Structure 1
């Protein structure tokens, strides 16, 4: 929520204390983990947490821990991947589902009273990130290299949160500090100003972050790809430039990541394994018995007889029928389940479900394939057709498909957009955001709305601002997104 009242402030203080109390308890495996901190910090009082490198590092660690909660934004029943996949044309909801929250997203009938929308969650994380930036910048006790890395991580995270906020809600309040007198009356600002801040944060993050991945102490390197590095910032920066039409800069940032040698495309059955060479940034699991929430929600086990509260969705016919003949991604990243004489396709990118006791998969946020598709599209829009075709063919060839047959700019762009749909399905809302940025959302959603039991209207491309924020912030009143009630 935008209004940072005392409840949120108390929540943040409690979050710091509790995060550090269970830092050691959460994982005890022999491999190095993000949240291993020795010794554990047991008491936190305001700025005192920033009096040491370990304390300051644990503040950002606490953010990753909270983000990776199975019920949050990253994975599980409230995740961006699930709800945006339902909002678009990627996922279908089983008939008879009793989850009213998922039904609203599936039928594009979000309400401004929706309890599990994304607005409040993102602003809570932005508040925590702003607090971390302020605390780190004020500290005179943190070493320069640790301070640089942590500030880079915090600025990257803030840009990540704002990227999704502005793409889901349009113009949003831009809150860059923890001063409640300011935040409680912050008005919406234009999306262009939000993007300016995102780019500013990411450019600064690139300067501050290490090229290598760092461990929980932020001073030693690690093979765990769970804290952002310089190339993580370049990845999001490349995506942002693509979204705002800065094609040359999108190509440049994507090439920085592709050409650095740290990442490579993997065989399809290894893409979503923990710390795969394709991974640019991922979240660890918080539960030793669960790899990640996508494996739990999307994947059916041999013992599952059909849909349930924990398995409420399957792949839409629109998506499943879009795979070309011979596309290995269909065989490797989807499966089918027979139930009551019907066959249901489902997502099989993450293959390990809740029954596993060994963690083999992390929830991937950014991976190299997206960079090839970003660069391919950016090149095509600049008329660099040979380079664009080469990029998309790298993705197609890995899937066992032939090169694109056209070098016509428009046809090539359409081929790249189709590859984005097939390659990135059910990952972080790519399809929903692509439909919006490409101005195809009305065309696509109007066609499939009847199969969802609803009708489409253009205003549904943006989600509603929660009533609570409209009622408590005087500068938000009267500025609800069109089509939604103020109260």
Structure 2
């Protein structure tokens, strides 16, 4: 039976977490991920040889791709909390994000918290156990790769926790018993971000310097480090790590037109640095159901609002990004980034366009206006719109902010972008600084008295 643990981790008694099948070809990302689940085995013997090590690292990716993490719930926090999306359904908890007044009993934040810590626990198991396995087929190179992937995913998980909730409990060992994590107090937000950097630094030398859009590599680490340093306002570092990826132009470049990275069943294009694979049968991306209208088999629980539709459909502003929205048979607009049936749409975590806009912002902050403007205009050119002519640092930063709003209109960036730049009051009208972090889910507070709530909740 399953029992929810302190800090949202699930302890599985005499039953392992769901795992993926065992077919494995390093030369094919699809074959690594597009496999059928197998029956569970005891968690005590989950990682004992190469086969079970491969199964375990698949399980980490599976947790990352789950419906409550990058499948739907966590992503929805990032865009529902912004100013691009309207709520059309019947669940009042969705409106809480749009109103910027999320309650601690909101089931979306509870599900996301649990899913992120589940991902961390699976990563912890790989990090701790793979290095001790003795199997001639599990070479040191493979051990390094699996452990490096786990470090990267754990870094991403703690990054998402830090920017959403602030400081959180730092758990870096596998959960074995239901009481393992009782009494672990919250670290500060700075300490949580420090854990992110520590994990990224651990991952980088372990991972191969190859190009893989579905699995973490050294280049994937560079991309996340660029985002991390941007959030930390470490402009030179953000520029440096964005440049590491952008200069690999043979593998990472902006696709034209804008929709080329997602339309017509595209996946794994040069636009993508890291995306999550779903096969549409055993692993389904439930995201499409929230966006697509009823005539397409969805529920259209949320949709682009009038302001976003106007911006995207303005040829001088949205350009070819108008492909993100479409009309149903009732003349209603809906989001069209997730559209595939069966639901095999990738979830896009790191894109080449983000690296250009990170470098543009970082350069602007360092008063490198000409090169920052060039990066911004590379993204605008891909969208089929005229070059910007920002003449000052302030104009360029605002232009980058506006570009990010449309470039990632249906992706989980807008809320976090405006919060990290200190513009929530000006853009969203959020004047209470306590509302810039979400509340710790009430279930977690009830299960562990050592946890404290964020101020204002």
Specify the TM-score bucket, using the shorter chain as the normaliser: 0.7 to 0.9
Q: Does 1:265 align with 2:254?
A: yes
- Asked if the contact 2:102–2:439 (Cα under 8 Å) also holds between the matched residues in 1, the reply is yes
The alpha carbon displacement at 1:385 in A equals: 1.0
The alpha carbon displacement at 1:41 in A equals: 6.8
Residue 279 of structure 1: aligned partner: 272
- Measured at CA, do residues 2 and 44 of structure 1 come closer, stay the same or move farther in structure 2, by a change above 3 Å? closer
Secondary structure of the equivalent of 2:33? coil
Paired residues, what number? 437
- Listed as ranges, the matches of 1:304-323 within 5 Å are 310-323=299-312
Residue 398 of structure 1: aligned partner: 382
Distance 1:173 1:255 in 2: 33
Residue 69 of structure 2: aligned partner: 73
- Listed as ranges, the matches of 1:50-449 within 5 Å are 50-69=47-66, 71-76=67-72, 79-94=73-88, 97-117=89-109, 118-141=112-135, 142-178=138-174, 183-213=181-211, 225-260=213-248, 261-267=250-256, 268-272=258-262, 273-288=266-281, 292-300=285-293, 303=295, 310-323=299-312, 324-326=314-316, 327-337=318-328, 339=330, 343-350=331-338, 352-354=339-341, 356=342, 361-427=345-411, 429-446=412-429
The alpha carbon displacement at 1:332 in A equals: 1.9
Secondary structure of the equivalent of 2:41? coil
Among 446, 453, 456, which residue is 1:471 paired with?
Answer: 446
RMSD: 2.8
Secondary structure of the equivalent of 2:334? strand
- Measured at CA, do residues 48 and 364 of structure 1 come closer, stay the same or move farther in structure 2, by a change above 3 Å? same
Deviations 1:364-418 (A, max 9, x none): 2111000000011111101111110110010001111111112311101111111
- Measured at CA, do residues 229 and 31 of structure 1 come closer, stay the same or move farther in structure 2, by a change above 3 Å? closer
- Measured at CA, do residues 466 and 156 of structure 1 come closer, stay the same or move farther in structure 2, by a change above 3 Å? same
Q: Report the TM-score, using the length of structure 1 for normalisation.
A: 0.82
- Asked if the contact 1:90–1:315 (Cα under 8 Å) also holds between the matched residues in 2, the reply is yes
The alpha carbon displacement at 1:275 in A equals: 1.0
Structure 2 residue runs of 5 or longer lacking an equivalent are none
- Asked if the contact 2:104–2:442 (Cα under 8 Å) also holds between the matched residues in 1, the reply is yes
The alpha carbon displacement at 1:159 in A equals: 0.6
Residue 219 of structure 1: aligned partner: none
Bigger Cα displacement from structure 2, 291-300 vs 84-93: 291-300
The alpha carbon displacement at 1:280 in A equals: 0.9
Deviations 1:240-265 (A, max 9, x none): 00000111111111011111231111
Secondary structure of the equivalent of 1:62? helix
- Measured at CA, do residues 99 and 470 of structure 1 come closer, stay the same or move farther in structure 2, by a change above 3 Å? same
Distance 2:436 2:180 in 1: 29
Secondary structure of the equivalent of 1:92? strand
Secondary structure of the equivalent of 2:107? coil
Deviations 1:142-162 (A, max 9, x none): 320011001110000111011
- Listed as ranges, the matches of 1:25-64 within 5 Å are 32-35=30-33, 44-46=41-43, 48-64=45-61
- Asked if the contact 2:148–2:207 (Cα under 8 Å) also holds between the matched residues in 1, the reply is yes
